[in-house]
Structure 1
């Protein structure tokens, strides 16, 4: 199955959405800076929800082609950790020579814990504020790996019913536990990605569509913020357009480039970007120019990380370890798209 470029486009748009939010509305909140109102962007959080939907789609897809939990864990680790460790090191180096926001006050132990990616579980500050969203991803990978190991993914509809019910009950305070590990705040986006995959490739029936719609309503009920009813309806509609092949018109080079650099861009953009904005504003009075210049530098840095650091490392590691899984591939296992 060929690579779906539309997924890269969606990743790029999600990443850009988060970055613009941090450089406008969020920057205003943290530093009390008065941007012109036309530069504000309040819906940056929707980029994360879109990321989670993409993850649900890709993780369920990956589980269709792996032959063991070990292989699944390896592939997901390669997706998360090399770029993460590289970006931590870059942020720390820049922090050592520049006043990077909220980074220099971390202790050595806190820095070491950040390399695990689970620092938030122990309420240890993140080196970069954007890292918080990696824990829901990591817990989702763990949960899906467990389901795969137990052989219960064939009952994913039952799992969906229980999971969505738990989210709603938790929101009402009836089941006030499990929110962190079970992703009760964002799990409906991950779950919808799974059923979007089933609709696209497994000829999902009306039940799968009903589960997707229930995920939408659950998202609106659990995450009650002004405008979410419109924002969430938009990204669910966007994903429907994707699975029915209506987004191919957006397979444009600039958007595909954004998708290519989306992960390192997300990992690097916040604190380094804030420091760039603060520095540029001393010399450049135009806020639009400041944001555009900061974006350009972060795009370039993310591209360097992706092409010249992350990609060679993953290629080397795959040449050493991935063939071990390929050599044990079951005859009936069929590959799906590269992720």
Structure 2
């Protein structure tokens, strides 16, 4: 989810505000988990100074950012398989490390209702475990299934050379999703309705639209049509996020597309965005273990939360610089060498 390649960057500079938005989303989700959700699951030993229930909707912002960034990343790929390999290099090394760390910490120190066997952890390493009905080692992984579904959709568009028509395709997909959910509800099939709504296409679509608008590659009528079907979905069907969340994400995407968020350059926020993927993967269950232990030892909940947050930041920083970034560099070096061999071979022949 980082910036485009050098050639693309020369034409379109890196948008640091993307890291800032990721940092805000990561901060919101973590504060929700450590305050509201922890209170519901285990209960803090004393009343908190405040809770951030709305922080749970930071994932909707993550989905929109993915829509923007994935389309930006596709500018530099020449083949569909390059997109798949690049995503794998970006996602899996950090994810495997997070699964191993979370499983180890929870196994050693315990966490009620979140302790699983080694076999479950192994299946989690595929990142497709939810499709196999295997529980998550950490419940935050539920969003990864949705992200992978979006990547698969974008892979299909690249493979079919349909990326230039991405806006009308998303208009059709969001409209079909809305119709499918309404039909399932009318027929008394809530499970099918929930399944149809799982892709969260309306939020990915906002990010896709923002990217196209930032490049001046979409007309006003097409923009209004896509925003309209997304809004109609939220009004007619709804989602796990209330309608105001959709409005906030839409406003942020529009501001992003117009360069109106370039003031978001606070370094701590940019750094949090840079490490946001590993932080998102490791903060929850490991943080819960820390909070439970410290509060049992008599610490104030706010202090325990601060320590859990700091531990998540340290682990995420380690994973980013020792796992994620080396893996990305290794993949890029391998790709450059492969391209060089491909370029030399015809000359030799």
TM-score by length of 2: 0.86
Which of the numbers 141, 146, 149 marks the counterpart of 1:131? Answer: 141
Once the 2 structures are TM-superposed, how far is the Cα of residue 318 of structure 1 from its aligned partner? 2.4
Which of 175, 178, 182 in structure 2 is aligned with 1:172?
Answer: 182
Contact 2:140–2:280, Cα closer than 8 Å, also in 1: yes
**Equivalence for 2:28:** 17
Kindly tell me: are residues 184 and 313 of structure 1, through their superposed partners in 2, closer, same or farther at Cα, counting changes over 3 Å?
closer
Note the residue ranges of structure 2 that are not aligned, 5 or more in a row: 1-11, 344-349
Q: Which of 225, 231, 234 pairs up with 2:248?
A: 234
| Greater RCO (Cα-Cα under 8 Å, separation 6 or more) | 1
Q: Is 1:88 aligned to 2:88, yes or no?
A: no
Q: For the structure 1 residues 202 and 170, does the alpha-carbon distance in structure 2 shift closer, same or farther, using more than 3 Å as the test?
A: same
Q: Provide the C-alpha distance between the structure 2 equivalents of 1:46 and 1:96, rounded to a whole number of angstroms.
A: 29
Kept after mapping to 1: 8 A contact 2:71/2:208: yes
Where structure 1 has 5 or more consecutive residues not aligned to the other structure, the ranges are 330-339
SS in 2 for 1:3: coil
Match of 2:121 in 1: 111
In structure 2, what is the equivalent of residue 278 of structure 1?
292
* 1:306 equivalent among 320, 326, 336: 320
Determine the C-alpha separation between the residues in 1 that align with 2:45 and 2:236: 32
Work out the CA distance in 1 between the residues paired with 2:45 and 2:222. Answer: 46
Aligned to 2:229: 214
Separation of aligned partners in 1, 2:173 and 2:274? 32
How far did residue 328 of structure 1 move?
A: 6.3
Instruction: Please report the RMSD computed on the Cα atoms of aligned residues, expressed in angstroms.
Output: 2.4
CA distance in 1, matches of 2:206, 2:198: 13
Cα distance change of structure 1 residues 207 and 71 upon mapping to structure 2, 3 Å threshold: same
Corresponding residue for 1:151?
161
Report the CA distance shift for 1:252/1:146 in structure 2 as closer, same or farther (over 3 A): same
Q: CA deviation at 1:69?
A: 0.8
Q: How far off its partner does 1:132 sit?
A: 0.9
Is contact 1:100-1:272 (8 Å) kept? no
> 2: CA distance between counterparts of 1:267 and 1:281?
23
**Whole-Å separation in 1 of the counterparts to 2:14 and 2:197:** 28
Q: Output the CA distance in 2 between the equivalents of 1:198 and 1:86.
A: 34
Aligned length, in residue pairs? 326
Q: Distance in 1 between matches of 2:222 and 2:182?
A: 25
Residues 257-303 of structure 1, C-alpha deviations (whole Å, 9 max, x = no match): 11011000100011101011101112344222221121112111111
| C-alpha distance in 2 between matches for 1:102 and 1:311 | 33
Report if aligned partners of 2:26, 2:276 keep a CA contact under 8 Å in 1. Answer: yes
